[in-house]
């Protein structure tokens, strides 16, 4: 029990004292997850909107695939990205394995389906509601998509935040493709796993606290965005 | 007998009219026949009410005329044009107002932008439209936070701002209280007096009496009667229509 209390105290000191290693790890975590979510959003918003609005053969299969991919096991994503990026793999020549870029790629693959599936749902719901009005006033396809994205912006932002929450808290994929190399590819989750197994509970706990704060803030933000939209526009 | 007050003078020649339908049929998704052989001709200068009980096919008929649905069989022409070609010169008001998640003002601006009105002109037209609908003081409020009656007046203002030649309204006051209904009806009269041909559906006999110049009586997908309002309410030719305006439940 005293071990535990001591660990907490040290963890607290690390956070308050802005321990350089801790700061480096947290910064890298945020950078990687932000980049991954940004990249995923750029792909997922048009993809989700297209699946919602266009009728093409195999559309249903894409919808099912997107929804299923929301629950992709991170370690499997890590394994696949590992195979692609390893020296012998098809993208091996880029030398990306065990770099932050590889981690961004893995997280991007992990959260893209989440953002795309939620985007599809949002745009589908809004389209159902707006469709007759938009057709009645003769809105073209681009104008219609623009209207739906603009009016769905709060819910789309919530989708992006959900993606970020998943990215920042995920461990399996980044551990495999990043390698958890000190000062290079160590992020909050991988460090927590490593330090816990080494018995260095203080750093693990400190990072754990920060991770909880980040995750809770993201969730709170998502809720606040949703409620603000609800109370403003119904 | 009908309170056709402010009786409109016939609007100037409206090239979209006559609206002619011939043998119009529409089958729903579950293969149910919703409209069966509906033929009529509407000429210029009237407020037409499509009257009938719920489920008669009134909304479907209006959507077919506006080109939102395609008939399973039969023809619709607006002064010779197809519904799709004529739609841009019509305004449509839905039973449940479809309002964007934006301010009242932005809802009107949206349709002006779609119709290619230059940004510099929009402000004045938005103000004029909101003024006419009595919504000027609510311009900056989120549209979907308005009361039901205000929302429906906004939909009418939004359809009217483009000065359509024909205004189609689908049960515009079916869920409104009497005061809000009166405001909507006044607005409809004003639209008609401004020269737009009004075609609206209702299942409310009182509303049909108050607004109609002529009545299309629709029942179970069949057009049973098309007559001037005065003769329709004095003595409808079809027994089902007679029972309906006496207030009987018909099925």
User: CA–CA separation, A120 vs B31, rounded Å?
Assistant: 29
Longest dimension (CA), chain B: 56
User: CA–CA separation, B202 vs A187, rounded Å?
Assistant: 64
Which of B212, B211, B248, B251 is CA-nearest to residue B229?
A: B212
Report the gap between the CA of A132 and the closest CA in chain B (Å).
7
Q: Does B102 touch chain A (CB under 8 A)?
A: yes
Cβ contact A136–B142 (<8 Å): no
ipTM value of the model?
0.89
DSSP 3-state assignment of B224?
A: strand
pLDDT at B175: 87
> What would the pLDDT profile of A145-172 be if each residue is shown by its tens digit?
999 999 999 999 999 999 999 999 999 9
Cβ contact A132–B68 (<8 Å): yes
> What would the pLDDT profile of B183-201 be if each residue is shown by its tens digit?
999 999 999 999 999 999 9
**Sign, CA torsion B57/B64/A130/A121:** positive
B1 located within any domain: no
> What would the pLDDT profile of A73-131 be if each residue is shown by its tens digit?
999 999 999 999 999 999 999 999 999 999 999 999 999 999 999 999 999 999 999 99
The CATH number of the domain holding residue A85 is 1.10.3720.10
Task: Mark which residues 75-134 of A lie under 8 Å from B by CB.
Answer: 129-130, 132-133
pLDDT at A228: 86
Report the gap between the CA of A145 and the closest CA in chain B (Å).
13
Q: Copy the structure tokens of residue B203.
A: 């299942």
Q: Write the residue in B68, B110, B143 that is nearest to A135 by C-beta.
A: B68
The CATH number of the domain holding residue B52 is 3.40.50.300
Q: Over the Cα atoms of chain A, what is R_g? A: 21
In the DSSP assignment, the letter for residue B194 is T
Q: Does B68 touch chain A (CB under 8 A)?
A: yes
User: CA–CA separation, A16 vs A10, rounded Å?
Assistant: 10
Q: Is there a contact between B104 and B140 (Cβ–Cβ < 8 Å)? A: yes
Q: Does A233 touch chain B (CB under 8 A)?
A: yes
pLDDT at B31: 85
Residue of chain A whose Cα is closest to the Cα of B67: A136
Q: Is there a contact between B94 and A129 (Cβ–Cβ < 8 Å)? A: no
What is chain A's mean pLDDT, rounded? 93
Name residue B216's beta-bridge partners.
B50, B226
pLDDT at B8: 43
Counting one residue from chain A and one from chain B, the pairs whose CB atoms sit within 8 A come to: 45
Q: Is the peptide bond before B18 cis (omega within 30 degrees of 0)?
A: yes
What angle, rounded to 10 degrees, do the helices at B119-132 and B148-160 form?
Answer: 130
B10 located within any domain: no
B14 located within any domain: no
Q: Is there a contact between B121 and B101 (Cβ–Cβ < 8 Å)? A: no
Residues of chain B with pLDDT under 70: 1-14
**Mutation for A interface: B90, B93, B101, B154, most A CBs within 10 A:** B101
Mean pLDDT to the nearest integer, A19-44:
96
**Residues of A in Cβ contact (< 8 Å) with B115:** 137-138
B220-224 contacts: CB < 8 A, separation 24 or more?
B220/B36, B220/B55, B220/B56, B220/B57, B221/B26, B221/B33, B221/B34, B221/B35, B221/B36, B221/B38, B221/B56, B221/B57, B222/B36, B222/B37, B222/B38, B223/B38, B223/B39, B223/B40
CA A109 to chain centre: 9
Range of the domain at A147: 2-233
pLDDT at A1: 63
Question: How crowded is residue A162: how many other Cβ atoms within 10 Å of its Cβ?
Answer: 19
Q: Is there a contact between A118 and A107 (Cβ–Cβ < 8 Å)? A: no
Report the gap between the CA of B144 and the closest CA in chain A (Å).
6
Task: Mark which residues 124-153 of B lie under 8 Å from A by CB.
Answer: 142-145
pLDDT above 90 for A69: yes
Report the gap between the CA of B125 and the closest CA in chain A (Å).
17
Cβ contact A234–B66 (<8 Å): no
Cβ contact A138–B101 (<8 Å): no
Range of the domain at B176: 19-245
**Mutation for A interface: B87, B100, B115, B162, most A CBs within 10 A:** B100
pLDDT at B235: 87
Q: Is there a contact between A15 and A170 (Cβ–Cβ < 8 Å)? A: no
**Residues of A in Cβ contact (< 8 Å) with B101:** 151, 229, 232-234
Instruction: Name the domain count of chain B.
Output: 1
Cβ contact B101–A229 (<8 Å): yes
Mean pLDDT to the nearest integer, A54-81:
93
CA B229 to chain centre: 16
Q: Does B101 touch chain A (CB under 8 A)?
A: yes
Q: Write the residue in A130, A232, A233 that is nearest to B98 by C-beta.
A: A130
Residue of chain A whose Cα is closest to the Cα of B102: A233
Cβ contact B115–A132 (<8 Å): no
User: CA–CA separation, B186 vs B192, rounded Å?
Assistant: 10
Q: Write the residue in A132, A147, A233 that is nearest to B144 by C-beta.
A: A233
DSSP 3-state assignment of A170?
A: coil
3-state helix, strand, coil in chain B (%, to 5): 40, 25, 35
Q: Write the residue in A136, A151, A229 that is nearest to B100 by C-beta.
A: A151
The string of DSSP letters for A40-95 reads HHHHHHHHHHHHHH---TTHHHHHHHHHHHTT--HHHHHHHHHHHHSTTSTTGGG-
How many H helices and E strands in chain B? Answer: 9, 9
Instruction: Name the domain count of chain A.
Output: 1
User: CA–CA separation, B70 vs A94, rounded Å?
Assistant: 55
B204 located within any domain: yes
pLDDT at B218: 96
Cβ contact A234–B142 (<8 Å): yes
Question: b or e along B199-238 (b: 16 or more beta carbons within 10 Å of the residue's beta carbon)?
Answer: bbbbbbbebbbbbbbbbbbbbbbbbbbbbebeebbeebeb
């Amino acid at each position: 029990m005293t071990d535990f209390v001591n660990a907490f105290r040290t963890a607290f000191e690390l956070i308050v004292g802005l321990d350089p290693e801790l700061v480096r790890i947290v910064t890298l975590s945020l950078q990687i997850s932000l980049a991954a979510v940004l990249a995923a959003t750029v792909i997922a918003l048009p993809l989700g909107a297209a699946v919602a609005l266009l009728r093409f053969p195999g559309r249903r299969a894409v919808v099912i695939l997107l929804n299923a991919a929301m629950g992709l096991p991170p370690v499997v994503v890590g394994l696949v990205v590992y195979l692609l990026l390893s020296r012998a793999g098809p993208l091996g020549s880029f030398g990306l394995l065990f770099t932050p870029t590889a981690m961004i790629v893995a997280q991007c693959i992990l959260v893209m389906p989440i953002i795309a599936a939620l985007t599809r749902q949002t745009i589908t719901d809004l389209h159902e509601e707006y469709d007759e009005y938009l057709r009645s006033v003769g809105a073209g396809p681009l104008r219609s998509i623009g209207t739906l994205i603009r009016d769905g912006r709060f819910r789309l932002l919530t989708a992006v935040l959900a993606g970020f929450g998943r990215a920042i808290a995920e461990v399996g994929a980044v551990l495999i493709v990043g390698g958890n190399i000190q000062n290079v590819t160590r992020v909050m989750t991988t460090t927590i796993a490593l330090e816990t197994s080494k018995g260095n509970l203080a750093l693990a706990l400190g990072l754990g606290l920060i991770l909880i704060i980040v995750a809770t803030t993201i969730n709170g933000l998502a809720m606040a965005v949703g409620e603000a939209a609800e109370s403003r526009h119904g | 007998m009908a309170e056709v007050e402010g009786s409109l003078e016939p609007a100037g020649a409206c090239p979209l009219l006559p609206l002619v339908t011939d043998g119009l049929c529409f089958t729903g998704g579950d293969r149910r026949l919703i409209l069966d052989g509906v033929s009529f001709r509407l000429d210029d200068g009237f407020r037409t009410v499509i009257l009938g009980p719920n489920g008669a096919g009134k909304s479907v008929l209006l959507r077919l005329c506006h080109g939102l649905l395609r008939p399973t069989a039969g023809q619709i022409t607006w002064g010779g044009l197809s519904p799709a070609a004529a739609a841009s010169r019509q305004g449509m008001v839905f039973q449940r107002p479809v309002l964007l998640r934006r301010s009242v003002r932005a809802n009107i601006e949206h349709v002006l932008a779609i119709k290619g009105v230059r940004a510099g002109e929009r402000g004045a037209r938005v103000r004029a439209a909101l003024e006419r609908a009595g919504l000027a003081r609510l311009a900056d409020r989120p549209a979907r936070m308005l009361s039901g009656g205000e929302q429906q007046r906004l939909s009418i203002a939004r359809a009217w701002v483009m000065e359509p030649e024909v205004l189609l309204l689908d049960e515009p006051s079916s869920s409104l209280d009497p005061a809000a209904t009166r405001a909507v009806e006044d607005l409809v009269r004003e639209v008609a007096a401004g020269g737009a041909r009004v075609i609206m559906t209702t299942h409310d006999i009182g509303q049909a009496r108050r607004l109609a110049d002529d009545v299309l009586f629709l029942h179970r997908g069949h057009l049973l009667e098309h007559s001037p309002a005065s003769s329709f309410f004095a003595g409808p030719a079809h027994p089902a229509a007679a029972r309906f305006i006496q207030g009987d439940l018909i099925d």
